[in-house]
Amino acid sequence: MQRILVLNPKGGSGKTTVAINLASHFALRGERPVLMDYDKQGSAGHWIKKRRPTQPHINLISAFENSLRVTRSFQVRIPQDTGRVVIDTPAAVSAQDMPELTRTADKILVPVLPSDIDIHACSRCVQNLLLIAKVQREDNRLGIIANRVRRNTLIYRSLTRFLGTLGIPIVATLRDSQNYVRAAEQGLGLEEMKAAQVSEDLAQWQPLLQWLDQPRGAVAPVVPPPPAVEVPAIAEPERSAEPVLA
C-alpha cells in the first residue's frame, strides 16, 4: 500500500484537484484507493458524493471529522485491500504538524501556482519539510507540481527560475485548464472524460504517474517546465525636456 500526501499550507494551490484526480486514476486501475480528507471544507467528500454507483469505487475517510461514537484510530482505519491512499491536507498546516503528517507518507506532492505569493509560500513549505519534517532529498519522496500554468507570461518565467533552485524534482507541469472544473462538477476525474477533450491534460500527468511508481530512494529525473516564450520588454516613451523658466 502506498500513501501519497498532497501538501501545501497555502490555500488555493490545487491540492484537492490533484488528490481527486489521483484517486480517480487509481480507481480506474482497480487499485481500490482511499481518499483521506483532512480539509474541513470537505471538498473531496463533496466530489465523491457526486459520483455514480456505476463508476469505479473510491473509499472516503473524512479525517477532519471528530466522532464521539468511535475511537480516532477506528475512524481513520484503512481497509486491508487498499492499494493506494491519497491524503488531501488542509490549508494553514503548521510546520510543527508536518513531521506527523509526513512520517508514513511514501510520496509527498507540493502543488505551487505561478504567483509571487505562492512561490514564497512554496519556498517556506519546502524549507519546513526538509529542516523540520526531516524529509531527505535522496529518498525521492518529495516532488513539486507546477500547477495552473499559463505559458508565455512573465510570472511563469519567475516560477521556472524558482523551481530550478529547489533541488527537488518537478514531477509535473499542469496547464490552467477548464477541464478540471468540468470534471469536478460531474464527480469525474480527467481520465473518465472523453479522451479527445482531455488528451493534452492527460499527457501532462504521465511524468507524475511514472514518478509515483518509482521506488523510494530511486534517482528521480527532474521534469523541467516547458520553456517560456521570451516576452519582449515594453519600452517606456521618451519624455520631452521640461522648459527652463527664466
pLDDT tens, position by position, 13-35: 999 999 999 999 999 999 999 99
Residue 224 lies in a domain: no
Is the dihedral angle over the CA atoms 217, 14, 88, 20 positive or is it negative? Answer: negative
Residues in the chain: 246
Q: Total domain count for the chain?
A: 1
Residue 95 lies in a domain: yes
Residue 127 lies in a domain: yes
Output the domain CATH number for residue 16.
Answer: 3.40.50.300
In a domain, 246, yes or no: no
SS3 61: strand
Strands of the sheet with 59-62, listed across from one edge: 59-62, 34-37, 84-88, 2-6, 107-112, 142-149, 170-175
Q: Which helix (H) or strand (E) holds 101?
A: helix 98-102
The residue segments making up the domain with residue 106 are 2-212
In a domain, residue 65? The reply is: yes
pLDDT at 153: 83
Nine cell digits for residue 104: 508514513
Each residue's pLDDT tens digit in the chain (246 positions)?
999 999 999 999 999 999 999 999 999 999 999 999 999 999 999 999 999 999 999 999 998 887 777 777 778 899 999 999 999 999 999 999 999 999 999 999 999 999 999 999 999 999 999 999 999 999 999 999 999 998 778 888 888 888 888 889 999 999 999 999 999 999 999 999 999 999 999 999 999 999 999 987 776 555 555 444 343 443 444 444 444 343
CB 105, CB 3: distance < 8 Å: yes
This prediction has a pTM of 0.86
- 66 falls within a domain: yes
Residue 206's contacts (CB-CB under 8 Å, 6 or more residues apart) are none
How many Å apart are CA 230 and CA 170, to the nearest integer? Answer: 21
- For residue 52, is it within any domain? yes
Q: What is residue 234's DSSP assignment?
A: P
The candidate with the shortest Cα–Cα distance to 148, out of 122, 174, 172, 169, is 174
Q: Is position 68 within any domain? A: yes
